[in-house]
Amino acid sequence: MTMNLLEQIDRTKLPQHVAFIMDGNGRWAKKRGMIRLFGHKNGVKTVKEILNAAGDLGIRYVTVYAFSTENWSRPADEVSGIMGLLSTAIDDEIENMMKNGVRVKMIGEMDRLPKYLREKVAYVIERTKDNTKLDFIVALSYSGRWDIVESARKIARDCVEGKISPDDICDSMFSHYLSTDGTPDPELMIRTSGESRISNFLLYQLAYSELYFTDVLWPDFSREELYKALISYQNRERRFGKTSEQVKK
Ligand code: IPE
Ligand code: IPE
Ligand code: MG
């Protein structure tokens, strides 16, 4: 089965960047009569598997939505449980990431994280900064609107300070002010658990991404599920506003 799916993937036409909304951990746990945190714990295992699969395929950038700005409104014990899991995951995975050439980046409002996690995050970013095989971008305390608003704020500041003029502002300049500066936009965005929405993820960056929605809950998402998404992606015609005839040329 795995071989069959893998064989259907054209290795020369892979996306460079795949982004994930990792959703469904809570429902996965509930189905098993367990607390939500059990689902998040199993979700971390999926992240490892997907990172390995992406690395094996040679995908250069992987972004995961780990915690949204809106998720701060969840029950306090779930929030602190997730923060603890993230911290443990960094400890457990840092050597593996060094071995696999993974460079970790974080996007989001880091100021809102508990101090111990903020320090650990800073450490893993620093430790992995020279790795070059795969950029693993974790959206943590992130929201797409926050990203755009921050960008606008920085641009306004640079205008006031005379570094740039309002006439210089264009979409490519705008994207340099976003937290994702240096990373190409995702060609493919995958959301698990059956929800068909963006939930304040990469609003600016997803402008022309192919969207793939699956009912599979994140802890059940696997290498094979990733292959299915990539096959679906490769069977689409990306027209970018042009006609089908134009893009076939
Ligand atoms: C996604 O799973 C993980 C986070 C948002 C942190 P959920 O916790 O949203 O799981 P469901 O949607 O309740 O099943
Ligand atoms: C989106 O999932 C955020 C993350 C996966 C981190 P949610 O479960 O929070 O999204 P909604 O509330 O269903 O839109
Ligand atoms: Mg959810």
Instruction: Dump pLDDT digits (tens) for 153-183.
Output: 999 999 999 999 999 999 999 999 999 999 9
pLDDT of 128 higher than 80: yes
Q: Which atom of ligand 2 is nearest to the CA of 70?
A: 9
Report the pLDDT value the prediction gives residue 3, as an integer from 0 to 100.
63
Cβ of residue 200 lying under 6 Å from some atom of ligand 2: no
Fold of 13-142+185-236: Undecaprenyl pyrophosphate synthetase (3.40.1180)
Structure letter (DSSP) for residue 178:
S
214 in Cβ contact with 46 (< 8 Å): no
Structure letter (DSSP) for residue 218:
G
User: Percent of the chain beyond pLDDT 90?
Assistant: 98
Q: Which of 70, 106, 140 to mutate to test the pocket of ligand 2 (most atoms within 8 A of CB)?
A: 70
Q: Is 23 a catalytic residue?
A: yes
Q: Is 92 a catalytic residue?
A: no
Ranges of each domain in the chain: 13-142+185-236
The strand order across the sheet containing 61-68 reads 102-107, 134-142, 61-68, 17-21, 188-191, 210-213
Q: Closest Cα to residue 107, out of 92, 121, 90?
A: 121
